[in-house]
Amino acid sequence: MQTRIHHDSAALVAHIAATFAAYSREGRPVHIALSGGSTPKALYQALAAAPWRDKIAWHNLHLWWGDERCVPPADSESNYGEAARTLLDHVPVPPENIHRMRGEDDPAAERARYAADLAAHLPDGRLDWTILGIGEDGHTASLFPGATDYATIASVAVAEHPTSGQTRLTLTAPLIARSKHISYLAVGAGKADILRAIADGGDYPAARIHAEHGNTEYHTDRAAAARLP
């Protein structure tokens, strides 16, 4: 478990923002999968403001989503909607480079459409960078403990939240594992127990899904890392 412990959430966000800037300056299309949640929201707000907004070559970035709730973009629970309000409405990403999951559409049809879009843009099936959160139950994207297929040949799946029953779309574990670079983000004392469980070898999606031929990092603040060995 490769862990980088940052002083606080602001330092973590600055590090991830700097990675965005570095990728954008590689002079090629870079495919990045985004996440929902409180830490990514802070990241999006930082990216949309100076200095990062002006350091990033936005035209080189293709933005994808790790998962999405099956709700319209205007819904407060929409991951795309959150990213649009906090980031995309404020930076010059070409519209054709924004690959959102259409949570308002029929889930099965959207699963197939999104899989086709991924295949069209990623002939080798590999995202450059996938940014993921970690739930207190060890889930990541919408891949939940006891309900994750680690061997599927599909790239996108329809999932159901185990408690609320909410329908979601998600990248699959094998598709994420083909990423060249995976960054898990975990901030706050509420993530300390699950990070310790992951470090101890617990059987959670956020523990099992690593880049098969790339680099996987767990970025935390000091509060989230408090129980790490």
pLDDT tens sequence across 22-37: 999 999 999 999 998 8
Per-residue pLDDT tens digits for 66-123: 999 999 999 999 999 999 999 999 999 999 999 999 999 999 999 999 999 999 999 9
Distances (CA, A) of 192 to 27, 186, 195: 38, 9, 5
Q: What is the pLDDT of residue 37?
A: 82
Asked if the bond preceding 95 is cis, omega within 30° of 0, the reply is: no
The CATH number fitting domain 3-190+211-221, selected from 3.30.450.70, 3.10.20.740, 3.40.50.620, 3.40.50.1360: 3.40.50.1360
**Is residue 106 a contact partner of residue 72, using CB atoms and an 8 Å limit?**
no
Q: What is the pLDDT of residue 213?
A: 96
Show Cβ contacts of residue 106 under 8 Å, excluding neighbours closer than 6 positions: none
Q: Residues 181-205: what's their mean pLDDT?
A: 97
- Cα–Cα distance measured from residue 5 to residue 11, given in angstroms and rounded to the nearest whole number: 10
- The model's confidence at residue 190, banded by pLDDT at 50, 70 and 90, is very high
**Is residue 23 a contact partner of residue 32, using CB atoms and an 8 Å limit?**
yes
Q: What is the pLDDT of residue 38?
A: 84
Question: Residue 68 in 3-state DSSP?
Answer: strand
Q: What is the pLDDT of residue 103?
A: 98
Q: What is the pLDDT of residue 31?
A: 99
Going from N- to C-terminal start, the domains of the chain cover: 3-190+211-221
Phi/psi of residue 199, nearest 5 degrees = -60, -30
